Structure 1
Amino acid sequence: MLKDTQGLVVTTDSAKAIAAINHFIERSLGYGKDAETAILQAITADPTCALAHAYAGAYYLTQESNKAWQQAQPYLQAAQQYLAKITNREQLYVQAILAWANKEIDVAIAFHEEITNLFPHDLISVQQGQYHYFYTGNQEKLLEIAQKVLSSNSEQHYLYGMVAFGLEQCHQLKAAEKMARIAIALNRYDPWAHHAIAHVMETQGRVDEGIAWMESFADTWENCNSMLYTHNWWHIALYYLELGNYQKVLSLYDTHIWERANKQSPKDQVGAISLLLRLELRGVDVGNRWQGISPYLYSRIDEHALPFQDLHYVYALAKAGLHEWVNEMLQSMQHHALSINPFLRRSWLEVAIPAARGMVAHAKGDFNTTVAELKPVLSRLHEVGGSHAQRVLFGQVYQDAVLLAQKQNQIYGMTA
């Protein structure tokens, strides 16, 4: 057995496997573009390393697509073959990823909590625990799982960035910025810490400062995976949107967001969709950009990896005029909601599906229906996941619908 870069025991005798695992850990915590390559190299070096197989499975699951879920399966099966011969920490981690693959998110969370309690140096587990809390709308726990291991990781800049984001999501903005600046003082190349401060400055209306801040670090994002590269540029675009510089926003969309996206990536697709919608809410003509995204969304219709993603997909399909696909997706969402475990089912049935109907109605110009569907779920939209900055969009759609419904009703009242 050998120890990884976090000082934790890994069941392997291969120095090459450990080196590759260390590279994977660094890339995962830093949102690097070659995390997949690194973990597959670890498996090549030691095909019996259960933790490496579990890491590979987790990597694919974070992609949140059917294709990636299928890619994860052989690695998860391999991890289970060696389960009896590995350490307690590794066993807990494998079980957490298996639960995730089975869509038992509450079970996965429980395993990550246990790992962080027993092995506070395991920042990969902390990161994945935060991920699940993020997409189930539990901001307090998102902060807590990172904060509780801070005293054990005082030199780990990635953890300061994790805590910073948790603080921001809990509206502790001053503390969030302080934590993120500590992370960046330790390592300028920490894109998640940059991202946390982007949220803080946006929330506080520090638009010009936010642009200067994010653009000063943009050179460090070239080695990021497409998700965080495009997402950090998305935050810059939001600043320019607030300034009313819509041509700049469209330029950023074309050069740094959709152009640099992995077109098959759900998270990259969501960022592009949300930016186009924000532009249209400001009265901006986005041209044929909806049609540029929609062909990539067919595979999403029956996927339902995350409700947050589905709300964006179904809107984009409606904006592209693909109404048969829209109806198919709404029916599929209902079927999915009735087939999943109770922990997730309630939010799908009571929040995600009504919100999806409201988003589709808005895309079609049926603003009365938008208001009727969105108004009852506004206070619960955190349950679908996403950050405050991302979810505020749904509130903007609702407010837009309220105003336009009033205008429509006045016109119809006058002509009746």
Structure 2
Amino acid sequence: MEGESTVKFDRWGSPVTTTSDACISLINSYYHQVLCYGRERKVIMAAMEEDRECVLANALAALFLFSRDTSAASRHLQVAAARLGRATSYEKLLYDSVSSIMNGTDCETVVALHSKLLREFPRDLASLNRAQALCFYMGRPDLSLGLVEQQVLPENQQESYIYGMLAFPLLELGRMSDAEISARKGLEINKSDPWSQHALCHVFQYECHFREAVKFMEECSPSWIDCSSFMYTHNWWHVALCYMDGHSPLNRILDIYDRHIWAELQRDDADCAEVYLNALGLWLRVDVRGWIGYTGNRLRNLANCLLNQESWHVDWLLDLLSVWALAHIGEIPRAEDLVKSIKSRLYSMSQKKQQSLHKGVLLAEALFEYGRGDYQHAYDILGPDFNANNFKVIGASDEQLDVFNEVWYTILLNTGYTSKAIGEIEKRLQHRSGVPFLWNLLHKVLMDKIKQKTGLEIQDSAKLKLTMLQWRNL
């Protein structure tokens, strides 16, 4: 009965102590926003207003506010803590998982708490989404896969969004065929699921089916209009990359940036840091390909936004890309400040986190040197055995990390390590033989080598002919 404290059930069938049916309805709306990467997660604040005593509403409101207003978030968490005596077992488990995040508990413990919750309440896909995000920032797709595959999927065989959540760790583990099957199954259940769309695009990109990826994603794009800043600009980032690797004119990439990435910053409800992340990831690829000089003031206008420290330390990958951008446009003191701040942030962490994230600091230092054109110093920092695929701990997908391998090839070529660059490029082509940029780069390197060392002309010419033949057959 409305107005009486009683146990009601949310969309997952989890028990919630509340006085309000409206509170439950709004909590369910919040779950939907989480799973569809929607723009309206603030609906959880309305749920809390409907029942200020509800532990679940207050805990989820605290989580929503955590990155926006830490004082307000703490207040809501305190309200939830004060009422745990009347909470259900589900609410207590969720409170434990949320409070562990807000208290800075180590990620392994936080994921373990989420795993405990999901063992008892395996239909809670919103908590699975949160746990998978933590696994992503730990660089542990194996752990993410275990959570969804072993604990949650058996109870959610026909549930919307579950197969996109299965597909992503599969593709991060290199199981592309399985990821494609899962993503397609997710789209059969809900063709507007942006995470399943995103996962299938990853598969197309990995397999170098760039035209197919563009066609698929552009057909899906009307369903992104209500997505969060991250999901909206990230999916368009994928489209831009597919155009880039598919030999499309630069103006198509610039058009996507202007209409779907930069324009997002003009929205009142935009999450600017999420937009910066995707924008910078695009510009670094453009720079590696030698096209940045044809893009006008776009990078400078974007980098000027990064002078404000509000965007610093929101995300490790964003910090790294920001260091490069600031150094590239000549804001050297500001770039140095950001590198120093990254180091200071690292030293404030636990010994265990320092060890795992030390690579991130090295990459920041190298990107600073690369950004200002000191390739030798960048090489010295990274060492001869750099491989971006070993840097998942910075919170980046394989596709996001791949640009740092491209930066590495550029550093090698600009420091005279031509033979090593050739070997690294050939090694990469063994895994992704349909990437035109890599063939073009290999072609250029071989041509330069022929000019410099006529003694290698016969051997290299044969290799060049093979390279060109393979390139034509893409």
What CA deviation, in whole Å up to 9, does each residue of 1:235-267 have, x standing for no partner? 101100102322111110111112124665322
State the match for 2:98 in structure 1: 97
Question: Which structure's CA Rg is the greater one?
Answer: 2
Q: Say whether residues 1:389 and 2:395 are aligned partners.
A: no
Please say if residues 96 and 107 of structure 1, whose CA atoms lie closer than 8 Å, have aligned partners that are also in contact: no
Give me the whole-angstrom Cα distance separating, in 2, the residues matched to 1:313 and 1:302: 9
**Cα offset, 1:8, TM superposition:** 0.9
Please say if residues 264 and 275 of structure 2, whose CA atoms lie closer than 8 Å, have aligned partners that are also in contact: no
What CA deviation, in whole Å up to 9, does each residue of 1:325-371 have, x standing for no partner? 212111112221111123422122x2011110001111000111222
Alignment of 1:4-403 (within 5 A): 4-36=10-42, 38-61=43-66, 67-69=68-70, 72-104=73-105, 105-148=107-150, 149-245=152-248, 246-261=250-265, 264-284=271-291, 285=293, 286-300=295-309, 303-348=312-357, 350-375=358-383, 378=387, 380-403=390-413
Give me the whole-angstrom Cα distance separating, in 2, the residues matched to 1:396 and 1:59: 36
Residue type at the aligned position of 1:54? A
Q: Which SS does the other structure have where 1:259 is aligned?
A: helix
Please say if residues 30 and 190 of structure 1, whose CA atoms lie closer than 8 Å, have aligned partners that are also in contact: yes
Q: Which SS does the other structure have where 1:212 is aligned?
A: helix
Q: Which SS does the other structure have where 2:161 is aligned?
A: helix
Give me the whole-angstrom Cα distance separating, in 2, the residues matched to 1:292 and 1:276: 12
**Structure 1 residues 301 and 327, CA, compared in 2 at 3 Å: closer, same or farther?**
farther
Which is bigger in relative contact order (C-alpha 8 A, separation at least 6)? 1
- Greater shift, 300-309 or 377-386, is seen at 300-309
**Structure 1 residues 297 and 53, CA, compared in 2 at 3 Å: closer, same or farther?**
farther
Give me the whole-angstrom Cα distance separating, in 2, the residues matched to 1:68 and 1:251: 35
**Structure 1 residues 330 and 225, CA, compared in 2 at 3 Å: closer, same or farther?**
same
**Cα offset, 1:299, TM superposition:** 4.2
State the match for 2:469 in structure 1: none
**Structure 1 residues 26 and 264, CA, compared in 2 at 3 Å: closer, same or farther?**
closer
What CA deviation, in whole Å up to 9, does each residue of 1:379-402 have, x standing for no partner? 531121211011111111111111
Aligned residues: 403
TM-score normalised to the size of structure 1?
A: 0.92
Residue type at the aligned position of 1:17? C
Give aligned-pair identity as a percent: 29
Q: Give structure 1 stretches of 5+ with no counterpart.
A: 409-413
Please say if residues 173 and 200 of structure 1, whose CA atoms lie closer than 8 Å, have aligned partners that are also in contact: yes
**Cα offset, 1:69, TM superposition:** 4.4
**Structure 1 residues 234 and 71, CA, compared in 2 at 3 Å: closer, same or farther?**
farther
**Structure 1 residues 300 and 50, CA, compared in 2 at 3 Å: closer, same or farther?**
farther
**Structure 1 residues 338 and 219, CA, compared in 2 at 3 Å: closer, same or farther?**
same
TM-score normalised to the size of structure 2?
A: 0.81
Query: What is the aligned-residue RMSD (CA, Å)?
Result: 2.0
Please say if residues 95 and 111 of structure 1, whose CA atoms lie closer than 8 Å, have aligned partners that are also in contact: yes
Residue type at the aligned position of 2:400? Q
Residue type at the aligned position of 2:224? W
